[in-house]
Amino acid sequence: MRKMRKKAKMGKRRMAAGLLAGVLWLSAAVPLTAEAAAQGADAGGLSVYVDVQNGLDTNEGTLEAPVQTLKRAQELARDLVQDMDGDVTVCLRGGRYTLEDTLRFGPEDCGRDGFDVVWTSYEGEEAEISGGIQITDWTLHDAEKGIWSAPAQGVWSRDFFVDGKRAVRARAESLKALDVDGTNGAMILDHTGLPESFARPQDLEVTANATWRWYLMHVGSVSEYKGYMVVQCTEESWKWTGKIAVPEPGGYNGILTLENAYELLDQPGEWYLNPDEDRIYYMPEEGQDMGSAEAVLGRLEELFWFEGTPEAVVGNITLKNLAFRYTTWLEGDEPRGLHVDTLAVMAPTGNGGRVHTMNGLGAVSGEYLDHMTVEECHFEHLGGKGLRFISGIKNTRIAENRFEELAGAAIYVGNIAGLDYYASESEEGPIRLTENNEISDNYIKDVCVTYLGMPGLVVGHAARTVIEHNTLINLPYTGIYLGFMAGWEKRILEDESRIECRDNSILCNYVENSMARLHDGGGIYVSTRYENSLIQGNYVVKCGGNGIYLDDGTRGFTATGNVTMDCLRNFCYKGDYNYIYDNYTAAAKKEDLDLRTPIGDKPVYTVENNDLWDEAAVEAIRTAAGAGQPDTPQSDTPQAEGSESSGEAQPEETDEPAAASSEETQSGAPQAEGSESSKEAQAPEADADASPQEEQGGTKVPAALWVLPVLVLAGGAAVWVIAKKQKKEG
């Protein structure tokens, strides 16, 4: 899926360089040093070097004379791509590169003739791309409460980090609305534990969870009534958000949070920013010394933006081994508040209606991209999403990255707009379609910690896209989501010509502790008509909802060879023309939910043999699933009996199965022929007599026994090539 072709001259040059590296490795018994490798690349005129600490933008951008800023490096790289005969590498020395503005990439930054422009850290070093600002000059503000204060330097933010940890906006949690005035947006709260008054009630915000949604409402005033607190939401945020979030007492998940006031600053690790004073207030955690603590306020919402268009697609760019940290997301400041609805923000239209728009911004974002690669990068301490590629994403690989401690989701690929699904109905439809992508071997943990309604990994409307071998741990809502509501429309269920989204695969992923806060979701959740698509070899454990969930309008999926255990329920299946068979399931708290909705007179559906359990097969699936990161859980194979869901914040679901459906009319299921996943991504067979070792097909030869001979031969060949060239030139 990478290079299309190489010129012969460059191919021979690289072959010789690679073989020579083997000789040097054997002679010195150590790897080729980063400096030597860098000098070789620089000699070819294909590299730009950046050093935030020692560089100068007046330098030439060589290893010995690096530039200092990413902006200057980008300008030099644009000159090099004019006549490419190999990859152009922008090599960042270790350190923190703090951006003043989002770095924007356009067609002039693309690789050409089958080569890439590669942005990467210098070997053995970490280059951090930061959207934050250092907060210094801390003084003790309130010795009795232990509150410190510092200038905010003119920056407004919703995200603050101290010593590499997200600080919590000052808040009171787990509040109950005793009564709600749904017309005027007033909530009566028990006053116990809350301050008597607030100096700046206009700063306050109320957040609430409701089913699969998360809401933020702005406060206009706070008053007292018969010993209770009356929180009056602003008219606009109640109109667009509050009426849905808190329609009546108990109409949400039972949890309200009142936050963002100095008077609520009462727990270590909490903070508050007063915009009029331009000061941050923070209560340090035990052991934190504000004289030496690293405090960073998120300032930018996006770090890299790849700005393709239907007429000028951006592509052949690789991001490798970079760290992206310290952003914020400010859409919650909108007067309407914030309504995060799974994949979208619900926003008002000009005619008084509502519209879904893609929620959240990503540290790395883009649209209309082709042959992009993001690999081995670290996304951490972000105020929005990690990576967000929307319409027109093609032939793109997102692999071996780590996403940890994000306010929003880790990965969003593809859009949710109708034009992206009905690609044939628009002149630019084919270019809008997201297709032929790979999302693999990513490690995702502790994401969506602020915006609870977001899934961890999302693919919108897409075709021929593989989601495989990813690890997802600790999610308040859904783990992996594919699809969106366009699939619920009756017209696409009946019109074969409209099917653009097909041949997608969700293979061998590990999902643990999903649905921990919200409900009506799953460890793996699909919706929309996706012909010839496959869910196989996944391991879903500790899900507070549905282990695998096929929602309304779902069609064209085969789910087989998966493991679900310790879930609220193993399966919830709706839609039609789906095939669920030969899965391994442990006892769940609730029975599977059968809500099949036939397109014709009766459902064309297979649901059978989903209560299998074989220790060897389950262990093989668990071992094969996930990204294989060092801290991926490797506990003993769980037992099938006696498991309980870990969804401690879950309300009891009240939806009951529909009337009994007719018998399944087909026993066979189609294979996902469009998937190009490797054989390793396929789930093991359910043969109880076959051990994982037997399925390997023999003993694996240790790498040490074949690497050395190969390197020796390679070294000899390199010496011969170089000697021959010197003889000819001499």
pLDDT digits (tens, 9 = 90+) for 109-137: 999 989 999 999 999 999 999 999 999 99
Residues 481 and 518 in one domain: yes
715 is a domain residue: no
498-538: pLDDT as tens digits: 567 889 999 999 999 999 998 899 999 998 888 899 999 99
Residues 330 and 186 in one domain: no
215-249: pLDDT as tens digits: 899 999 999 888 889 999 999 998 888 777 665 54
Determine how many CB atoms are found less than 10 A away from the CB of residue 444. 30
Residues 569 and 421 in one domain: yes
pLDDT for 410 beyond 60? yes
70 is a domain residue: yes
Q: Residue 123: what pLDDT?
A: 95
pLDDT for 480 beyond 50? yes
Place of tokens 């009506």: 520
Residues 598 and 585 in one domain: yes
27 is a domain residue: no
Q: Which residues of 212-241 are buried (b: 16+ CB within 10 A; e: fewer)?
A: bbbbbbbbbebeeeeebbbbbbbebbbebb
The DSSP bridge partners found for residue 546 are 522, 569
What is the rounded average pLDDT of the residues 449-455?
A: 93
For residue 112, give the nearest of 142, 80, 149, 144 by alpha carbon: 80
Range from 238-247, 431-440, 657-666, 671-680 carrying the lowest mean pLDDT: 657-666
pLDDT for 195 beyond 50? yes
Number of independent structural domains in the chain: 3
520 is a domain residue: yes
Residues 284 and 304 in one domain: no
Residues 333 and 286 in one domain: no
Q: How confident is the model at residue 422 (pLDDT cuts 50, 70, 90)?
A: low
**pTM score, whole prediction:** 0.82
Residues 514 and 428 in one domain: yes
421 is a domain residue: yes
Angle at alpha carbon of residue 64, lines to 62 and 69, rounded to 5°? 60
701 DSSP 8-state letter: P
262 is a domain residue: yes
Residues 570 and 583 in one domain: yes
Residues 264 and 338 in one domain: no
107 is a domain residue: yes
Q: Residue 1: what pLDDT?
A: 41
Q: How confident is the model at residue 690 (pLDDT cuts 50, 70, 90)?
A: very low
368 is a domain residue: yes
d(CA 416, CA 459): 9
For residue 332, give the nearest of 155, 152, 158, 169 by alpha carbon: 158
Please give the residue range of the domain that contains residue 58.
41-125
Residues 281 and 324 in one domain: no
Residues 392 and 541 in one domain: yes
Q: Are 568 and 501 in contact (CB under 8 A)?
A: no
User: Which of 276, 298, 320 represents a domain boundary (last residue)?
Assistant: 298
Residues 112 and 177 in one domain: no
pLDDT for 309 beyond 60? yes
Token readout for 386 is 């990690």
Q: Residue 208: what pLDDT?
A: 87
From residue 520, alpha-carbon distances to 211, 378, 524, 652, 660 in Å are: 6, 30, 12, 11, 21
- Mean pLDDT of the residues in the chain: 80
- 8-28 vs 34-43: helix crossing angle, rounded to 10: 160
Please name the residues in contact with 709: beta carbons below 8 A apart, sequence gap of 6 or more: none
What is the rounded average pLDDT of the residues 166-179?
A: 91
User: Which of 278, 298, 318 represents a domain boundary (last residue)?
Assistant: 298
User: Which of 125, 149, 167 represents a domain boundary (last residue)?
Assistant: 125
Q: Are 415 and 461 in contact (CB under 8 A)?
A: yes
Q: Are 428 and 313 in contact (CB under 8 A)?
A: no
